[in-house]
């Protein structure tokens, strides 16, 4: 049995691996770059959706508060109009006098 040197086989294998791996690694770098870009876009979309969610969460109570203020304002206006009407009605003058307690002069005169 004759021994053959391994060096030519190793060199050929290394050369073939280098020629095959170079285009494959270029594709993997391109894929990694595209994935990184997709990841950045997805992160930006996620951040934007978080901001939109926060804005919606703030808008709902503000809308409710605005409606309550409007309803309160309408009710207050209605009450104010009624009070204004009552305040501007003509006064009726009568000779009758109502008192809850006897006048002070009469109570001291009766006590003596």
pLDDT digits (tens, 9 = 90+) for 76-88: 888 899 888 888 8
Number of alpha carbons in the 13 Å side-chain half-sphere of residue 13: 5
pTM (2 decimals)? 0.41
Give residue 17's pLDDT.
66
**Distance between CA atoms of 40 and 45, rounded to whole angstroms?**
9
**Does residue 41 surpass a pLDDT of 60?**
yes
Tokens for 35? 């994935």
Q: What are the tens digits of pLDDT across the range 21-31?
A: 656 566 676 77
pLDDT top residue among 18 and 69 = 69
**Phi then psi dihedrals of residue 109, to 5 deg:** -70, -35
Domain edges within the chain: 8-83
> Helix, strand or coil for residue 97?
coil
Q: Residue 83 has what pLDDT?
A: 87
Judged against a pLDDT cut of 70, whether residue 101 lies above it is answered with yes
Given the structure tokens 């005169």, which residue do they identify?
109
Higher pLDDT, 68 or 109: 68
């Amino acid at each position: 049995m004759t021994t053959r040197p391994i060096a030519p086989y190793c060199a050929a294998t290394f050369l073939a691996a280098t020629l095959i791996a170079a285009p494959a690694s270029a594709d993997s770098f391109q894929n990694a770059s595209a994935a990184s870009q997709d990841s950045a876009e997805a992160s930006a979309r996620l951040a934007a959706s978080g901001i939109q969610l926060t804005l919606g969460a703030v808008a709902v109570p503000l809308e409710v508060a605005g409606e309550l203020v409007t309803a309160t304002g309408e009710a207050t206006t209605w009450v104010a109009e009624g009070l204004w009407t009552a305040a501007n009605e003509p006064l009726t003058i009568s000779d009758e006098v109502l008192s809850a307690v006897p006048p002070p002069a009469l109570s001291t005169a009766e006590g003596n």
